[in-house]
Amino acid sequence: MSDENTVAMVIINPGNPSGSVYTYNHLNKIAETARKLGIVVIADEVYGHLVYGSNPFVPMSLFATIVPVITLGSVSKRWMIPGWGLGWLVTCDPSGLLRKDKIAESINKLLVYSPFPPTLIQGAIPQILEKTTQDFFSKTINILRKNLDICHDKLKEIPCMMIPQKPEGAFFAMVKLNLLLLEDIEDDMEFCLKLAKEESLIILPGVTVGLKNWLRMTFAVEYSSLEDGLGRLKSFCQRHAKKYTLTGSTAVDQQIHVEH
């Protein structure tokens, strides 16, 4: 919902933590909607180009002739250097609206003042941006796509877990937790705490991103670590699975089946 105080629409594409990737038509509708409302679009594209599904990554700046766009980018995701807290804002404003209203000037003034500028990282950025080859990006995508497929397939072997929609971008998967199949675990937070204690495996509880009884998993790890982690997760779930006792006709049927 928007009102007279709404100044911008924020989109995250590819999505975190959903892994969704917006189509060209969907982004075009977003731009048209923002134009009708008289607001700008802020596009968080720090996972830009990290896509594996049928939808290609489409930068929001392609629609800047419809509405002004402010794009957020970062080196930590696409270049796989987490912890390098350095990114950028890019304005795409053919109509000059951001300059006319001094929005770009205000953003620039805000960004130039920092008590702790990452000087060493800033010095490395030009070479990182200019000299990283397409081969690096292609290999990264292939590794992440393979890891995603492994993660998706292995989670199918765990009855209490389900991925409703396979991610198409970024490097996270949202997994639905079926607590009815587990004993002595009340919610996703308790699940993750016990998992960390028993298996030394860290998974983010979904409640931290507003999805209670979900889990946010990353597949952006070495293959051996991913395989080991999924094995620990499966063992944990088997250990905490509810034990069902066969009674009545079900027990008789089971006995007949075994004897045969």
Residue-level pLDDT at 169 = 96
> Which DSSP string do the residues of 123-158 spell out, in sequence order?
HHHHHHHHH--HHHHHHHHHHHHHHHHHHHHHHTT-
Res. 146 pLDDT band, cuts 50 70 90: very high
CB count in 10 Å sphere of residue 197: 9
Burial class (CB in 10 A: 0-12, 13-18, 19+), 217: buried
HSE on the CB side for 205, CA within 13 Å? 16
- Asked whether the beta carbons of 146 and 165 are under 8 A apart, the reply is no
Mean pLDDT (whole number) for 162-178: 95
How sure is the predictor about 16, in pLDDT bands with cuts at 50, 70 and 90?
Answer: very high
DSSP string for 206-257: GGGGT-TTEEEEE--S-HHHHHHHHHHHHHHHHHTBPPPPP-HHHHHHHHHH
Order the strands of the 214-218 sheet from edge to edge.
161-162, 172-177, 214-218, 204-205
d(CA 216, CA 214): 7
The yes-or-no verdict on residue 253 having pLDDT over 60 is no
pLDDT at position 247: 53
Query: Of 53, 8, 260, 26, which is closest to residue 170 (Cα–Cα)?
Result: 53
Residues 6+ apart with CB under 8 A from 141: 49, 50, 51, 52
Q: Which is nearest to 41 in space by CA: 6, 14, 78?
A: 6
Question: Which residue is it, tokens 């075009």?
Answer: 28
Percent of the chain with pLDDT over 70: 92
Pairing mode of beta strands 40-44, 69-74: parallel
Q: How far apart are CA 97 and CA 100, in angstroms?
A: 5
Structure tokens at 158: 């765990």
| Closest of 107, 139, 85, 109 to residue 40, by C-alpha | 107
| 87, two tokens | 């990114």
Of 86, 75, 87, 78, which is closest to residue 118 (Cα–Cα)? 86
Per-residue pLDDT tens digits for 57-116: 999 999 999 999 999 999 999 999 888 878 889 999 999 988 888 888 888 887 777 667
Is it the case that residue 10 has pLDDT exceeding 90? yes
CA angle in degrees (0–180, nearest 5) for 134-23-32: 120
- Write the burial class of residue 241 (CB in 10 Å: 0-12 exposed, 13-18 middle, 19+ buried): middle
Cα separation, 197 vs 194, whole angstroms = 5
